[in-house]
Amino acid sequence: MQAVQAKTILIEHLQFAITVNQADQVLGDAALLIRGDRIVDIGTTAEVGDRLGTTAPSEVIDGRNYGAMPGFVDTHVHLSETLSRAVFPDVIATRTWVFHWAKPYYAHVNEADEEVSVLLGTAEMLRNGTTCFLDMGAQNDAGVTAKAAAQIGIRGIVGRHAADRRPEEIPEGWSEEMMDHHFFPNHQAALAALEESVLKWNGYAEGRIRCWVNIEGKEPCSLELHVGARELAERLGVGTTYHIATSIEEAQVSQRKYGKWPISRIAENGGLGSNLVLAHAVAVSDSEVELLAKSGTSVAFCPSTSLKLAKGATAIGKYPEMIKAGVKVSLGTDGVSASGNLNLHRQAYLVAGLFKDARLDATLIGAQAAIRMATIDGARALNWDDEIGSLEVGKKADFILFDLDHHEWTPFSDPVQALVWSASPASISQTWVDGKPIFQDGKIQTIDENSLRIEARKRASEIVLRSGLGSWVPVTTTLYD
């Protein structure tokens, strides 16, 4: 039986293509040739046309009013949190936010809620140009996230949330049912469940969905679970991610209890490695920067969350030092309650300027580095840079087309600067994943967004009622102290 020839699409005369290749090449009058789900040629329109010769593509798209770049790669997000937008106060610090607001909320997110939450969140991400994500972990079965993400057409990494250290005192508002929902009895039970998830869901949707050994991290996880998650991930040939050093308060608790800061404690027990992505990593010492660099450990920086929860990225954060030392620093949006949005473009804008202003040094980060952090550096952190993160021959056709007939782009000279400092997702015309336009003509092509939003509003209010969140909830915490 003769094999069916994959459809070939030529997008020609693009005003620019920001490739994010090793040379950070920006092409003018650019063309992309796509066959199936891959980029098979890229260059100027004349160059690609010459290489095509008399071979006619299946479809030709006029790109004169468009600019192209790789899709954004979000390396830290909580898709089970999408229905909690603007529910938690914005005047509480990280540990209070987690223990007294997020955990009660998560405990009342059932599988049906989580499916809606994932669809709503990934729809927002696609509208904002994100084509790949690393989810922190499902509150229910990882398959809920995997199937919903596959349905909408995005690329991503899913996981099963896991923790194994219950607080010594059960705080007001928590219940035994909630404790059972959040915590495994020990690290062995947690790792067994995580392995089962990886074996079942890694490689789902023809490889577009991967599954990792993800845990919550920090105080609710034992040292054995931190170290064991990375070891299990290595054995299974996947990665792992968790929260660590998320605030100075967390670091101080670790110092009091163990005589060292969180990352040092993990490192001394062999827990760092190239298959590990640390979320936030705000409270990091100079010596820990070197530990991260030598071990190949990646960091997912979430600027919006740092601003909203006062994590201290510009006060104590070592992100410029990490980048200089060779640490793979990528960008995450976090969940919508933590950051307020799932807009990775906004994170690129923030990281480009936060450290310039905080340290009075205009040379720090900037537009080009911010774009790399949002694309190829994210792909490298996920060990997926062989297929995504840049516009290069042989890579997946995951990219964004910006509408340049838009006030954000009128006029512009340098597309790299304009992209970071002037543009926003408002001017995104299309988001492609696997060679298909998933966001186009102002809507997601794979789902009914209007019905989804109606369902999301209904479920969001029901979760808040079930979880009992309200004015009585504490705004400080002594949990795990």
- DSSP codes, 94-114: HHHIIIIIIHHHHTT--HHHH
**Same domain assignment for residues 401 and 375:** no
Note whether residue 52 is domain-resident: yes
Query: Tens digit of pLDDT for each residue in 77-114?
Result: 999 999 999 999 999 888 888 888 888 888 899 999 99
**Same domain assignment for residues 87 and 191:** yes
- Assign 3-state DSSP to the chain and report helix, strand, coil percentages, each to 5: 45, 20, 35
Backbone angles phi, psi at 366, to 5 degrees: 80, 180
Domain end (from 362, 381, 400): 381
Note whether residue 224 is domain-resident: yes
Q: Tell me, what amino acid is at 118? A: V
Note whether residue 475 is domain-resident: no
CATH number, residue 427: 2.30.40.10
Query: Tens digit of pLDDT for each residue in 161-203?
Result: 899 999 887 776 677 877 887 899 999 999 999 999 999 999 9
d(CA 117, CA 114): 5
β-bridge mates for residue 155, sequence order: 132
**Same domain assignment for residues 439 and 310:** no
Question: Residue 251: its pLDDT value, please?
Answer: 95
Structure tokens given for 341: 């949005």
Note whether residue 467 is domain-resident: no
**Domain count of the fold of the chain:** 2
| Sequential pLDDT tens for the chain (481 residues) | 455 678 999 999 999 999 999 999 999 999 999 999 999 999 999 999 999 988 889 999 999 999 999 999 999 999 999 999 999 999 988 888 888 888 888 889 999 999 999 999 999 999 999 999 999 999 999 999 999 999 999 999 999 989 999 988 777 667 787 788 789 999 999 999 999 999 999 999 999 999 999 999 999 999 999 999 999 999 999 999 999 999 999 999 999 999 999 999 999 999 999 999 999 999 999 999 999 999 999 999 999 999 999 999 999 999 999 999 999 999 999 999 999 999 999 999 999 999 999 999 999 999 999 999 999 999 999 999 999 999 999 999 999 999 999 999 999 999 999 999 999 999 999 999 999 999 999 999 999 999 999 999 999 999 999 988 887 777 787 776 6
Question: Residue 3: its pLDDT value, please?
Answer: 55
What would you measure as the largest C-alpha separation in the chain, in angstroms?
74
β-bridge mates for residue 156, sequence order: 133, 209
**Same domain assignment for residues 340 and 437:** no
Helix (H, G, I), strand (E, B) or coil at 181: helix
> pTM for the whole thing?
0.96
Tell the burial category of 408 from Cβ atoms under 10 Å away from its Cβ (0-12, 13-18, 19+). middle
CATH number, residue 309: 3.20.20.140
Structure tokens given for 364: 């720090």
Question: Residue 1: its pLDDT value, please?
Answer: 46
Neighbours of 91 (CB within 10 A): 10
Query: Of 107, 109, 45, whose CA–CA distance to 83 is shortest?
Result: 109
Check if the beta carbon of residue 95 is closer than 8 Å to that of residue 433.
Answer: no
**Same domain assignment for residues 352 and 237:** yes
**Same domain assignment for residues 414 and 329:** no
Q: How does DSSP classify residue 422? A: I
**Same domain assignment for residues 358 and 431:** no
Query: Of 94, 61, 73, 57, whose CA–CA distance to 20 is shortest?
Result: 73
Query: Of 83, 32, 31, 1, whose CA–CA distance to 460 is shortest?
Result: 83
CA angle in degrees (0–180, nearest 5) for 387-417-420? 65
Q: Tell me, what amino acid is at 268? A: E
d(CA 222, CA 230): 13
d(CA 140, CA 378): 26
Query: Of 367, 347, 354, 285, whose CA–CA distance to 313 is shortest?
Result: 354
Omega before 411 within 30 of 0, i.e. cis: yes
**Same domain assignment for residues 142 and 190:** yes
Query: Of 311, 315, 323, 308, whose CA–CA distance to 358 is shortest?
Result: 315
Question: Residue 178: its pLDDT value, please?
Answer: 76
Domain end (from 348, 381, 414): 381
Query: Tens digit of pLDDT for each residue in 220-254?
Result: 999 999 999 999 999 999 999 999 999 999 999 99
**Same domain assignment for residues 209 and 90:** yes
Note whether residue 284 is domain-resident: yes
Structure tokens given for 356: 């310039």
CA neighbours closer than 13 Å in the CB half-sphere of residue 203: 6
Note whether residue 457 is domain-resident: no
Question: Residue 480: its pLDDT value, please?
Answer: 67
Note whether residue 3 is domain-resident: no
**Same domain assignment for residues 45 and 172:** no
Residue 41 lies in domain: 8-70+391-444
**Same domain assignment for residues 178 and 161:** yes
**Same domain assignment for residues 119 and 187:** yes
Task: Report in angstroms the alpha-carbon separations of 187 from 94, 134, 231, 295, 384.
Answer: 24, 22, 13, 24, 28
Query: Of 390, 375, 444, 353, whose CA–CA distance to 25 is shortest?
Result: 390
Note whether residue 265 is domain-resident: yes
